[in-house]
Chains A and B, each alone.
Chain A
Amino acid sequence: MSFARFNFKRFGAVVMKEFIQMRRDRLTFGMMVGVPMIQLILFGYAINSNPKHLPTAVYAADNSVFSRTFVQGLRNSSYFDIIREPRTTAEINRLLAENTVQFAVTIPVDFSRKLVRGERPDLLLEADATDPTAVGYAIAAVNGLVPTIFNRDLTGPLAPLQAGSPPFNLVVHQHYNPENITQYNIVPGLMGVMLTMTMIMITALAITRERERGTMENLLSTPVRPGEVLLGKIVPYIGVGYVQVTLILLAAKFLFDVPMIGSVPLLLVLVLLFIVANLAVGITFSTVAKNQLQAMQMTFFFFLPSLLLSGYMFPFRGMPGWAQDIGEVLPLTHFLRVVRGILLKGNGLPELMPDLWPMALFLAVMLTVGIKRYRQTLD
């Protein structure tokens, strides 16, 4: 290799040209600046793997000073926001299944009576442990409260109860994923992540490719209608999506032993909504992107927040409000809840409703935008 061959003028010319092209290609430029910014913001501020203020339901059957102290202790820990006060066990179960609360505390009827008698009554803390990282710290915080929380109330004749073993017994029930196996949470979620990535990219590319290669001109000169083109392009990819879903479900069952408590057929039906929502995003992107590269970039632009803000990578409730708001818009967020809900919680349609309509709404909006923007001429 000889360095003498290297011509700096030619090199300079190439640099110049690339620079001009880069500047002309606003989207690429935006991506180059935008992606690091987004990552910085997300990793720096949004991602909190020690989530606090988790929604909690308290069922205090025993209305005593001890109950009030315990609830106050929960509040003070800042891990728990008490948002519901259910009156039955069934209600508690429903709140946990629907993802309304992360924790439920049950203080039994005779709690204070038994406590005063030194019988060390049970106090039940139930957690939705689908995502083990989301609950770990909070449970540790409650465990820390147990030995000393009632010390101020245990005065006078009760003072001896302060000494020795704690005056009551905290029973923790971790629902849905009691062994805290992260794969149970990650593997079903992977289905949504993969679908988001591939479904959007594949449609966005399929349509921009036509434009880039000039075949769109031919296609538009035939009697074929936009709806036919769009649907015709979507349908084969729905098939691709189902192949992916099947593969992941098989892997989940046979490689990772993920429990499948709910109805797999129901999941297979509902996944269609998610697939089509993503295909609609792809269509919309393809109407904006000028070429395949841009379509690709836009896909990543959508994929990144989906990955980070949906609750797949980090506990959803560990994110600040604005990040949760963005997350709530993304179909992946809701789909993750649906998959986990069906597979790990055994949820049926009624419990899934709160996550189905946002996906349907997203789909309707995206599809409308996509079809509106899809031009039937070359103008």
Chain B
Amino acid sequence: MSTPEFIIDVRGVTKQFGGRVVVNDIAMQVRPGEIYGFLGPNGSGKTTFLRMLCGLLTPDGGSGHCLGYDILKQSAEIKKHAGYMTQRFSFYEDLTIEENLDFIARIYEVKDRQAAVEQSLERLTMTARRRQLAGTLSGGWKQRLALAACLIHQPQLLLLDEPTAGVDPKARRDFWEEIHQLAADGLTVLITTHYMDEAERCTKLAYIAYGNLLAQGTVDEVVASARLTTWEVVGKNLHAVADQLRGKPGVEQVVVFGTTLHVSGRDAVRLRESIAPWMREEYRWHPIASGLEDVFISLMETAADNFK
């Protein structure tokens, strides 16, 4: 199969559950080798979108291709070449680690199955625990097992639904090392996460809220598109300041970080007017670059106003 220009190229993807639109008219284009981060608040439709990409749910509307195959008609082909890691652990708890890997390898008809299973066990550093029941693994290890299992058939596209939820920082870093390594070898990854540091490690991002795609692009593009101004304040008794600032015109977010306070809003002029009374001796103010988190929270709140 020749590599198409886009690994994922869909538009108008829509899904309703019981009359409620959960994914609304989403378009997405992902190039080969990209690590595409998919973010959004709980219940925004991320899992639903991933499920539609790999044929687990039938979209109510929309069209497009995934790995060059039609998402509506050729989901059987897509399944063969994609690896989907579910949000909830969905391997067999009553099978051992090795049995799970072997089962998946058989289903995908992996050539030289035993070697593939051995290799995955090694990569997981679970060779010695191969006969442990998957159900007895800790949460983080289950995640790692799940990732290893969905890589066993060497997919061209990985759809990962919160793969690092509950995984410790070291393992998370190793995981991202591996993802970058795989992407360098040509694998395309679409990954959902709630972690900002992970979002920043993605080559591209998409942000979805209430089923609507709100922003899309590189980290810088997404931050820039939000046109958010953020001020940092250092001083004493910041909680009181925060309470007083909330609700003032132009002030959209007030976040306390121990000894500092971040105040941001999209309307730079009115924000400036509102904070002016506190620009006194005891508080030191300076403008800073808005963080991804500030941007996402801002996007989400705007979306809440628009779509609720």
Contact = CB atoms under 8 A, between A and B. Distances in A.
A220 B56 contact: yes
A377 interface: yes
Given A214-B88, A221-B86, A223-B76, A377 B107 contact: no
B108 A222 contact: yes
B90 A214 contact: yes
B88 A221 contact: no
**Interface residue tally of chain A, by bracket?**
10 to 19
Given A221-B84, A221-B86, A378-B51, 8 more contacts: A215-B90, A215-B91, A221-B82, A222-B108, A223-B108, A224-B107, A377-B56, A377-B57
B32 to A, nearest CB: 21
B93 A213 contact: yes
19 contacts: A213-B90, A213-B93, A214-B88, A214-B89, A215-B90, A215-B92, A217-B90, A218-B91, A221-B56, A221-B79, A221-B82, A221-B86, A222-B108, A223-B76, A223-B107, A377-B55, A378-B51, A378-B56, A379-B58
Interface in B52-74: 54-58
Contacts of A224: 107
Interface string A217-251: 11011111000000000000000000000000000
B136 to A, nearest CB: 15
Nearest to B135: A213
Residue of B51, B55, B90, B92 most packed against chain A (CB within 10 A): B90
**Interface residue tally of chain B, by bracket?**
20 to 34
Interface of A: 213-218, 220-224, 377-379
Q: Which 6 pairs, one residue from A and one from B, show the smallest C-beta to C-beta distance?
A: A218-B90, A221-B84, A214-B90, A223-B79, A222-B107, A223-B80
Nearest to B77: A223
Contacts of B90: 213-218
A218 B86 contact: yes
Interface in B108-164: 108
Contacts of B58: 377, 379
A213 B95 CA distance: 13
Residue of A217, A222, A224 most packed against chain B (CB within 10 A): A222
Interface of B: 51, 54-58, 76, 79-80, 82, 84, 86, 88-93, 104, 107-108
A174 B53 CA distance: 69
Nearest to B161: A217
Contacts of A218: 84, 86, 90-91
Nearest to A225: B76
Nearest to A228: B107
Contacts of B55: 220-221, 377
Contacts of A222: 79, 104, 107-108
Contact of A217 (B86, B104, B107): B86
B14 to A, nearest CB: 14
A142 B80 CA distance: 73
A213 B92 CA distance: 9
A221 B92 CA distance: 15
Given A214-B89, A218-B86, A378 B76 contact: no
B56 A217 contact: yes
B120 to A, nearest CB: 16
A379 B76 CA distance: 16
B216 to A, nearest CB: 25
Contacts of A221: 54-56, 79, 82, 84, 86
A214 B86 contact: yes
A21 B79 CA distance: 37
B304 to A, nearest CB: 28
A204 to B, nearest CB: 18
A216 B51 CA distance: 13
Contacts of B76: 223
A209 to B, nearest CB: 10
A218 B104 CA distance: 10
Contacts of A214: 86, 88-90
Nearest to A221: B84
B218 to A, nearest CB: 29
A216 B91 CA distance: 9
A232 B82 CA distance: 23
Contacts of B89: 214
A376 B74 CA distance: 13
Contacts of A220: 55-56
Contacts of B93: 213
A215 to B, nearest CB: 5
A213 B91 CA distance: 9
Contact of B57 (A213, A216, A223, A379): A379
A257 B168 CA distance: 66
A377 B104 CA distance: 19
A221 B107 CA distance: 11
Nearest to B95: A215
